C-alpha cells in the first residue's frame, strides 16, 4: 500500500505540468522564431488604419465585436483572422502592423516586435500594382516586399548578419494574396480585361509573384506558407448578382486556373532554389467543402453576410455602425460581403496548419516547422 511519502505533493505535480507546457511552447518558438505576413485584407491586422486615404478600412464598429478587446482593430472580421490563429499555433504574438512600427519620420522603431514577426498585409492589396490605384491607398505587394527589405536591414543591425539569417531561415513567411487582382479583372469597368485575356492575366499574376518571392528569398526567406485563391465567386458580393444567389462560376474557374499556375510556380522555385521549403494550402477546396457541407462545422448560413446593408444577402455595402449584424456569428460563413467570420478563419487556419495531403502539399505547416 502506498504511503503519503510516495505521492508527489500537488505543488510538484502542478509545477511539472507547467514546465512541460512552457518547455513545449519554448521549443516551438525556437523552431519558428518569427512570422512575417504579406497579403491582403484576409490577413490585414490594421495597416490600412495608418493610410489616411485608404478606401478599404475596417476600423469601424461592428468589426472586432468578438475580438478580445471588443473593438475594431482594422481586421476585416468580427474577431481574429487567419494570421492571428496561425501565430497562436506557433506560440507567437500576432505580428503587429508594419506601419504601427514606423515613426512620423518614416523610420523603423528598434522594437523587438520585429524579431517575432511583422505584418505587411493591406486591405485592397494585389499582386499587381494597379490595385493600389484602385483603392486610392493600399500597400501593394511590391511595396510590402520593399517594406520587408527595411525590416531585414533593421534585423541585420540588431542581430548581426549571421544571426539575422539564421533567424529568418527558421521563420515563416505567410503569403495570402491574389483575390483582389481577379476581382478587379472581372469587374465590368476593368482596364485589364481590355488588355489581357483571362489566361494572360493569371499568367501575369503568377510571373509577377515569382519575382517577388525570389526577392524575399534574396532577403533571407526560406520557409513559405502560401495559399491559393479561394472560390471567391461564392462570397456574398458575387452571389448577389445572381437571381438565385448562385456562385459566380466564371471567376471561380479563373481562381482555379491561377491556383494551378501558382502550384507550378512553387514547384519551379523549389527546383531552382533547393533550400526553399514551402507549404501550399488549397484553400479553394476548403471553402468549397464548407459551402457544400456546412453542417460539418455547424454553419447554417453560407450565402448571406453577417454584417452589412442591403436587401440582397446584406451585400450592398460593407460592415459599418449603421449596418445590421447577426447575433450568432458562429453559424455564418461570411462576416461581410467579402470576408470570412472568425469561425471560418479558424477553420482555414486549422487546414493550413495540420491539413491532410489532399489540401496541403508537399507538407502542412506543422511539418514545415521542422523541415
In a domain, 63, yes or no: yes
- In this prediction, residue 189 carries a pLDDT of 83
The residue ranges of the chain whose pLDDT is under 70 are: 1-30, 103-107, 109-111, 131-136
**For residue 3, is it within any domain?**
no
31 has catalytic annotation:
no
What digits encode the pLDDT tens for the residues 105-121? Answer: 566 765 677 899 999 99
Predicted local distance difference test score (pLDDT) of residue 103: 64
Q: What is the pLDDT of residue 318?
A: 93
Which residue in the list 40, 41, 152, 279 is annotated as catalytic?
41
pLDDT at 136: 59
Catalytic residue (one of 152, 332, 339, 343): 339
16 lies in a domain? no
pLDDT of amino acid 13: 35
CATH, residue 232: 3.40.50.1110
In the chain, count of helices (H) and strands (E)?
14, 10
Q: Is 274 a catalytic residue?
A: no
Which grid coordinates belong to 103? Answer: 515613426
Determine, yes or no, domain membership for 222.
yes
What distance lies between CA 22 and its chain's CA centroid?
27
In a domain, 27, yes or no: no
Q: Is 306 inside a domain boundary? A: yes
Q: Which helix (H) or strand (E) holds 113?
A: helix 113-116
Domain of 78?
A: 33-368
Has residue 135 been placed in a domain? yes
Buried b (16+ CB within 10 A) or exposed e, 334-352: bbbbbbbbbbbbbbbbebb
Catalytic residue among 192, 279, 336, 351: 336
Residue 312, pLDDT score: 96
Tell whether 339 is covered by a domain. Answer: yes
Rounded to two decimals, the pTM is: 0.91
Domains: count for the chain: 1
Virtual torsion, Cα 66, 69, 75, 77, nearest 10 deg: 0
Q: Which pLDDT tens digit goes with each residue over 315-354?
A: 999 999 999 999 999 999 999 999 999 999 999 999 999 9
C-alpha to C-alpha distance for 306 and 312, rounded to whole angstroms: 12
What's the pLDDT score for residue 46? 97
44 is catalytic: no
- For residues 244, 246, 251, 254, the Cα torsion angle rounded to the nearest 10 degrees is -140
Residue 107 confidence (pLDDT): 67
Amino acid at each position: 500500500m502506498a504511503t503519503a511519502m510516495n505521492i508527489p505533493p500537488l505543488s510538484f505535480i502542478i509545477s511539472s505540468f507547467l514546465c512541460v507546457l512552457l518547455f513545449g511552447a519554448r521549443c516551438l518558438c525556437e523552431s519558428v522564431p518569427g512570422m512575417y505576413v504579406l497579403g491582403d485584407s484576409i490577413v490585414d491586422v490594421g495597416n490600412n488604419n495608418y493610410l489616411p486615404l485608404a478606401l478599404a478600412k475596417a476600423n469601424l464598429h461592428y468589426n472586432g465585436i468578438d475580438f478580445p478587446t471588443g473593438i475594431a482593430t482594422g481586421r476585416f472580421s468580427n474577431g481574429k483572422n487567419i494570421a492571428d490563429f496561425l501565430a497562436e499555433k506557433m506560440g507567437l504574438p500576432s505580428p503587429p502592423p508594419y506601419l504601427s512600427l514606423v515613426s512620423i519620420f518614416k523610420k523603423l522603431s528598434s522594437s523587438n516586435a520585429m524579431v517575432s514577426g511583422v505584418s505587411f498585409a493591406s486591405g485592397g492589396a494585389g499582386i499587381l500594382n494597379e490595385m493600389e490605384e484602385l483603392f486610392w491607398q493600399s500597400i501593394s505587394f511590391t511595396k510590402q516586399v520593399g517594406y520587408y527589405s527595411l525590416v531585414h536591414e533593421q534585423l541585420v543591425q540588431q542581430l548581426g548578419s549571421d544571426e539575422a539569417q539564421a533567424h529568418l531561415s527558421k521563420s515563416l513567411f505567410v503569403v495570402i494574396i491574389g483575390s483582389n487582382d481577379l476581382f478587379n479583372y472581372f469587374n465590368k469597368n476593368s482596364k485589364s480585361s481590355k488588355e489581357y485575356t483571362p489566361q494572360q492575366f493569371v499568367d501575369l499574376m503568377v510571373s509577377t509573384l515569382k519575382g517577388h518571392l525570389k526577392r524575399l528569398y534574396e532577403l533571407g526567406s526560406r520557409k513559405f506558407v502560401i495559399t491559393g485563391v479561394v472560390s471567391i465567386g461564392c462570397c456574398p458580393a458575387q452571389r448577389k448578382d445572381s437571381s438565385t444567389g448562385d456562385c459566380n462560376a466564371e471567376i471561380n474557374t479563373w481562381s482555379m486556373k491561377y491556383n494551378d499556375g501558382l502550384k507550378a510556380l512553387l514547384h519551379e522555385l523549389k527546383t531552382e532554389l533547393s533550400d526553399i521549403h514551402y507549404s501550399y494550402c488549397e484553400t479553394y477546396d476548403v471553402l468549397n467543402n464548407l459551402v457544400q457541407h456546412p453542417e460539418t462545422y455547424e454553419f447554417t448560413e453560407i450565402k448571406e453576410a453577417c454584417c452589412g446593408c442591403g436587401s440582397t444577402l446584406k451585400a450592398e455595402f460593407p460592415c459599418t455602425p449603421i449596418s445590421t449584424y447577426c447575433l450568432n456569428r458562429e453559424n455564418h460563413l461570411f462576416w461581410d460581403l467579402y470576408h470570412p467570420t472568425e469561425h471560418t478563419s479558424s477553420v482555414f487556419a486549422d487546414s493550413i496548419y495540420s491539413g491532410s495531403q489532399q489540401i496541403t502539399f508537399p507538407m502542412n505547416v506543422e511539418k514545415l516547422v521542422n523541415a
